[in-house]
């Protein structure tokens, strides 16, 4: 499996815009055949900080995700709502062993 963790800090005055944007991306992504999970997390002690936890069948499924209309809308809108540059890390499953 292929995992993506995106960390985002949102401008206070753009919070509603961010919530609409992430809702659109979440809704579209969850319909993709290669997407296994998409969680939108909000930090308890800092409500303008979010994390997206995405799981795809494999890296090809993630690359297919990046070609979708909802991802294009996400890319077009996300920088305007961020208070700081967002970060993104990619991971592969180690345990449980996906091949066992």
CATH number (domain holding residue 77): 3.30.70.100
Residue 97 covered by a domain: no
Domain count, the chain: 1
| Confidence check: pLDDT of 80 > 80 | yes
| Domain assignment present for 54 | yes
14-51 residue pLDDT tens:
999 999 999 999 999 999 999 999 999 999 999 999 99
Give me the helices (H) in 6-82, please.
Answer: 15-29, 59-65, 69-81
Is 100 within a domain? no
Q: What average pLDDT is seen over the chain?
A: 96
In a domain, 16, yes or no: yes
Residue 98: inside a domain, yes or no?
no
Provide the residue range defining the domain that includes 24.
2-92
pLDDT of 99 > 80? The answer is no
Is residue 12 included in any domain, yes or no? yes
């Amino acid at each position: 499996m292929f995992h993506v963790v995106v960390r985002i800090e949102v401008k206070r005055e753009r919070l509603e815009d961010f919530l609409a944007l992430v809702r659109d991306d979440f809704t579209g992504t969850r319909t993709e055949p290669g997407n296994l999970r998409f969680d939108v997390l909000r930090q308890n002690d800092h409500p303008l900080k979010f994390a997206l936890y995405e799981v795809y069948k494999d890296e090809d499924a993630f690359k297919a995700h990046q070609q979708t209309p909802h991802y294009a809308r996400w890319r077009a809108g996300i920088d305007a709502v961020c208070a700081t540059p967002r970060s993104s890390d990619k991971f592969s499953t180690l345990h449980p062993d996906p091949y066992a």
